[in-house]
Chains A and B, each alone.
Chain A
Amino acid sequence: MGTEENQELNARKAWELEYQKASLRDSNFETMSGVPVEPVYGDDLFPGQYPYTRGIYPSMYRSRLWTMRMFAGFGTAEDTNLRFKELLRNGGTGLSTAFDMPTLMGRDSDSEWSLGEVGRAGVAVDTLADMEDLFADIDLSQVSTSMTINGPAATLLAMYVAVAEQTGVEPHQLAGTIQNDILKEYQAQKEYIYPPRPSMRIVTDMVKYTTAEMPKWHPISISGYHIREAGSTAAQELAFTLANGFSYVEAAIAAGQNVNEFGKRLSFFFNSHSDFFEEIGKFRAARRIWARWMKERYGATDEKAMLCRFHTQTAGVSLTAQQPEINIARVGIQALAAALGGTQSLHTDSFDEALALPTEDAARIALRTQQIVAHETGVVNVADPLGGSPYVEWMTDEMERQAEAIFAHLDDLGNGSILEGTFNGIENGYFVGEIADAAYRFEREVNSGRRIIVGVNEFTDGDNPEDRNLLRIGAETEEYQLKRLNDVKTKRNQEHVNSALSEITAVASDPTRNLMPAIIAAVKTYATEEEIANAMEVVFGTYVEKAIV
């Protein structure tokens, strides 16, 4: 027997040992017609084996389906709290919070910037009082909470810690994730407050704080979703996202963090768009690249620190306002790509999202769509079922090749540091320029008819704008929230607020001190999110994007 065959045999044996240890779901793992199927096919590389191209776990969905995580949040904290409690009664254990635009931007509901936006796209949080309402009667030691927030992430995390403390739950008991991926804000989503470098300092302070005090917390979810939505190609989404990941790793290492400890707590968030095989190649390449870089470049030795765990959301930008009901088919195909790509969790978009926020019916259909993929198609029985297909393997390699070329550029731009290359790329407009070029090329293809978008530039019959039933959010939320904020401001001790805010400014001026304790102290005085943001802004300044169109 040749060495190669030996290795293959060893790989299979090693995988079998791991697979046997895994607990499996109660299922027959056979086709609809009763044909039993193997957990994986192929000979050389198996799921759960470095570099994890075929999946991060040996048994993949045979042990556990992906988490069907549907992002929610609307109106006042009390409205969302009711929704949370209903979810928990139905057996859910994970809460996912969407904040409204002012909260995401570090603005209070009574700011002139917030007019018309309060409670619209998510829940409004101004002070600790709102956070108390949001998690009222929920045992925070028993749930896992995901918070999608970036610019003012430290303040929201501080509020969460403070609410827990009020109910006797210690920070080390808290489990969850905060998005906190500030780099992609400058590249795509544009919800930043301060310039990149001070923002990175806040992120690093949060990483240090959570490492020491909140071991069950995931301090960053590195997100390519928004990069893709802004118009990037699949390879750009892959490369920019992983490069941002490398940047956080470099920053954490520079701050004295252990790559094995820190690496384990990172997770990713990708888009699933309509080009089926390109997406699957992208997901497979992501795992392989991340594992290699963590091991070879950053010296990780713990395999758990090399795993690219990711959440996926179907491509909101692919949804059409014309004939919106056909979006259900798009979402189904994109969800299937995510499953075949080995995602750990999935949000499926509602068909009406190109028109307005989703109605409850549309959100239900979206959830049902991924349930069909999980329970009816059989794709969950076999790990990486497309692995070994010449086309899929080629596409995976191609995605990797394109991503490596971008890493080489960033490495060059940063003189051997991806972190510096990323900062420089932000400053010189590299990322936004590349994304704008890709978006414009796509639009031109659609416009010239060379690329067909069903219902938009072809097959346009059957659009019935009159039939649409869209979600409307009234002005009551805004009025309620303004009153609530005003009450809090009247009742709180203003002297305590002022001194807590001055302390934040003092700590911000001293890069050797960690901002988290000062922010936690400030939220406890009921200082508002915007007051805290301003206390740092006087030191850090604000960021205005260079016009790269």
Chain B
Amino acid sequence: MGDHQQRVILAKLGLDGHDRGIKVVARILRDAGMEVIYLGLRQTTASIVAAAEEEDADAIGLSMHNAGHLTLGPKMAEAITAAGLDIPLIIGGIVPDEDVEELMNTGIAAVLGPGASAEEVVATVQDAISARDKA
């Protein structure tokens, strides 16, 4: 699995249209040598799951800026599990520190807050993928 090209899906779930952060993250991951399948705005849990299956994604990244993370984050994690997929879910955006634990308890692999550096972004995604591969 060492030379396996990592493929990451990036998407915005729901109506929130803030895409500055997710676009920056897409470039950071590309520049780290990953393949980013960019789904863009207004995705549903179903469309993300379908894309993850078809693209054989190694990780899914969601960006959230509308305080919907406690509703939509766990909903996405559930949808991934319900589909029988073993793909780590990473949430980025405006997530208060006190919500991180709650999110992690609902099956989200990692949370990237505002101001995360490029290195943190790449390391978080890689760690989530290798934790899955080891499990």
Contacts and interface: CB of A to CB of B under 8 A. Distances in A.
B48 to A, nearest CB: 14
Given A320-B115, A549-B38, A120 B23 contact: no
Interface in B23-79: 23-24, 26-28, 36, 38, 40-42, 44, 66-68, 70-72, 75
Closest 10 pairs between A and B when the two form their complex, measured CB to CB: A116-B71, A190-B17, A116-B68, A465-B97, A321-B114, A549-B26, A447-B118, A101-B15, A456-B115, A105-B15
Given A189-B17, A321-B94, 11 more contacts: A115-B72, A117-B15, A117-B16, A117-B66, A117-B68, A357-B67, A436-B27, A439-B24, A443-B28, A444-B118, A457-B117
B107 interface: no
Interface in B87-135: 94, 96-98, 113-115, 117-119
6 contacts: A101-B14, A107-B15, A120-B68, A447-B119, A468-B96, A468-B97
Interface string A238-251: 00000000000000
Interface residues of A, number: 45
B58 to A, nearest CB: 19
Contact of B118 (A115, A230, A443): A443
A189 B118 CA distance: 24
A231 B26 contact: no
A473 B67 contact: yes
A1 interface: no
Interface residues of B, number: 35
A435 B20 CA distance: 9
A32 interface: no
Contacts of B117: 447, 457
A457 B120 CA distance: 13
B67 A356 contact: yes
A321 B115 contact: yes
Listed residue (A115, A436, A443) with the most chain B CB atoms within 10 angstroms of its CB: A443
Interface in A83-134: 101-102, 104-105, 107, 112-117, 120-121
Given A101-B15, A107-B15, A117-B14, A440 B66 contact: no
Contacts of A470: 96, 98
B96 A355 contact: yes
B56 to A, nearest CB: 19
Contacts of A436: 23-24, 27
Interface of B: 14-20, 23-24, 26-28, 36, 38, 40-42, 44, 66-68, 70-72, 75, 94, 96-98, 113-115, 117-119
A356 B15 contact: no
A447 B26 CA distance: 15
B72 A547 contact: no
A230 B38 contact: no
Interface of A: 101-102, 104-105, 107, 112-117, 120-121, 189-191, 229-231, 317, 320-322, 354-357, 435-436, 439-440, 443-444, 447, 453, 456-457, 465, 468, 470, 473, 544-545, 547, 549
B46 to A, nearest CB: 10
Tell me if B's interface is mostly helix, strand, loop or mixed: mixed
Contacts of A444: 118
A228 to B, nearest CB: 10
Contacts of A456: 115
B41 A545 contact: yes
A230 B114 CA distance: 15
A356 B93 CA distance: 11
Contacts of A112: 44
Contact of B24 (A113, A443, A468): A443
Contacts of B18: 190
Given A468-B96, A545-B40, A547-B40, A439 B20 contact: yes
A544 B17 CA distance: 12
Given A354-B94, A354-B114, A547-B38, A101 B16 contact: yes
Listed residue (A121, A356, A447) with the most chain B CB atoms within 10 angstroms of its CB: A447
B17 A440 contact: no
Contacts of A117: 14-16, 66, 68
Listed residue (B38, B41, B67, B98) with the most chain A CB atoms within 10 angstroms of its CB: B67
B95 to A, nearest CB: 9
Contacts of A354: 94, 114
Given A116-B72, A436-B23, A545-B41, A355 B94 contact: yes
Contacts of B118: 443-444, 447
A111 to B, nearest CB: 9
Contacts of B36: 549
Contacts of A116: 14, 68, 70-72
Nearest to A453: B115
Contacts of A439: 20, 23-24
Given A356-B67, A468-B96, A322 B115 contact: yes
Contact of A114 (B15, B28, B38, B40): B15
